[in-house]
Amino acid sequence: MDKFLIRGGKPLKGKVVISGAKNSALPCLAATLLTDETVTLHNVPYVKDLITQRRLLEDLDATVLTPELHTQKIKAANIEIYEAPYELVKTMRASVLALGPLLARFGQAKVSLPGGCAIGTRPIDLHLKAFERLGATVSLEAGDVVARAPKGRLIGADTFFEKVSVTGTENVMMAASLAKGKTTIHNAAREPEIEDLAELLNKMGARITGAGTTKIEIQGVEDLGAAEHTIIPDRIETGTFIVAAAITGGKLEIENCQPKHLQAVIEKLRETGVEIEERGADKIFVKCGGRGLRSKDVTTEPHPLFPTDMQAQYMALMTQAEGAATVVETIFENRFMHASELVRMGADIQISGNTAIVRGITKLMGAPILASDLRASASLVLAALAAEGETLIDRVYHIDRGYETIVKKLSAIGADIERITENLK
């Protein structure tokens, strides 16, 4: 398993270009299953989760033409298998995004039920309830969810999410695009990735309004067709690099980002004393204010509030801020696994239920540590960049799932980081 060796204490300086959003590219790739015509996606990040999603499409017999690394042309004309196998679903929960498109286009789909994952149980009951509202019968057979649309086509209906779900909203939006009649999604997720997917679907011929609000209306159409679309920049990667500049006392120009997609993060970081200047619609300049960082409390909430996917990175930053910060995680249980590793590096963090209290400023010292999930590993990299001495981070395959060429990007702005590849004998 690969590891990162980081020698901390160097302020990061220079320019970094943000990649396409993983969480947008995943549903957009799944959406290509809705048509037999070619869909071209640009700005697809080259990260492990996207490679897995592409493999899923290929397993279903879609043709993936990839003339360029970041452009994916997909033609799902010859689909005869309607099944996402456990082998793929267990490595990446987002494979459940195949369920909606397959069910809508072919009237049937089988997807393995995702098992428990590192950041909580993460059920898909809300996706399934919504499919049932659209007329599907859903059953559990030997660990697989099997969904069928009677007479082969879903029927538009009013659906209500008891809890805001990002991939749930996306799955239903895709399924309803080919349903007969109109679907309304109440209490829909409002993440920018939902709007991006709706934009792609509309380019393919769908009739979706209200994406980005809590009420999305979808007028079903008979079929969808070819389209070309550019994925939005990754707001979580953007936030991670802002914290990287702040935690090392550096200065960064962040390009190809969309500051409007991470206003809650930018506002919170400004409160702590990080200087963030938005330069036009797609650039950010960030530096750490001369007065040092102040602790500020944060609670994770669905968009447009502070994202759970930035909680771990924020916690790392708070170890370097004056005072005590309360960090409350409301989206996922068990999403504080980075805390014990940060403590090993010298942080003062106390956890009680879904609340962490981080007391700073603590001196972080390099140590051997273990990454437990995608965002936790980002938090550990940030802490290592600020720490004195060497940190060896094990299980970095987690970070490879969602951060494109992270070692290259960090090295280019002055970080001392190397990947150690272990060859299995």
Could you say whether residue 396 binds ligand UD1 (CB under 6 A)?
A: no
- The CB-of-9 to ligand UD1 minimum distance in angstroms stands at 30
Phi and psi at residue 407, in whole multiples of 5°?
A: -65, -45
Q: How far apart (Å, rounded) are the C-alpha atoms in residues 216 and 174?
A: 12
- The CB-of-221 to ligand UD1 minimum distance in angstroms stands at 25
Token reading at 397: 């395959």
Could you say whether residue 124 binds ligand UD1 (CB under 6 A)?
A: yes
> What distance lies between CA 330 and its chain's CA centroid?
17
Nearer to ligand UD1, 120 or 152 (CB): 120
The yes-or-no answer on residue 28 being catalytic is no
Could you say whether residue 123 binds ligand UD1 (CB under 6 A)?
A: yes
Q: Identify the CA nearest to 327 among candidates 352, 344, 303, 346.
A: 352
Contact code string over 126-155 relative to ligand UD1, x by CB under 6 A: xx----------------------------
DSSP strand pairing (215-219 vs 182-186)? antiparallel
The H or E element spanning position 317 is: helix 311-318
Residues contacting 160, CB < 8 A, separation 6+: 185, 186, 187
Q: How far apart (Å, rounded) are the C-alpha atoms in residues 257 and 238?
A: 7
Reduce the DSSP state of residue 21 to 3 states and report it: coil
Question: One of 28, 117, 257, 288 is an active-site residue; which one?
Answer: 117
DSSP 396: T
Query: CB-hemisphere CA count at 13 Å for 232?
Result: 23
Size of the site for ligand UD1 (CB under 6 A): 21
Nearer to ligand UD1, 26 or 198 (CB): 26
Nearer to ligand UD1, 23 or 319 (CB): 23
From candidates 41, 50, 104, 166, binder to ligand UD1 by CB under 6 A: 166
Contact code string over 291-330 relative to ligand UD1, x by CB under 6 A: ----------------xxx---------------------
The sign of the dihedral angle between the CA atoms of 79, 80, 82, 88 is negative
DSSP strand pairing (3-7 vs 390-394)? antiparallel
Could you say whether residue 167 binds ligand UD1 (CB under 6 A)?
A: yes
DSSP 244: H
Q: Which stretch binds ligand UD1 (CB under 6 A): 52-60, 118-126, 199-207, 237-245?
A: 118-126
Nearer to ligand UD1, 163 or 363 (CB): 163
DSSP strand pairing (274-279 vs 283-288)? antiparallel
- The CB-of-29 to ligand UD1 minimum distance in angstroms stands at 11
Q: Which stretch binds ligand UD1 (CB under 6 A): 31-39, 117-125, 143-151, 175-183?
A: 117-125
Positions 89 through 108 that interact with ligand UD1 (CB under 6 A): 93-94
- Which residues of the shown chain bind ligand UD1 in the complex (CB under 6 A)? 23, 26, 93-94, 120, 122-127, 163, 165-168, 307-309, 331-332
Q: Which residues are catalytic?
A: 117
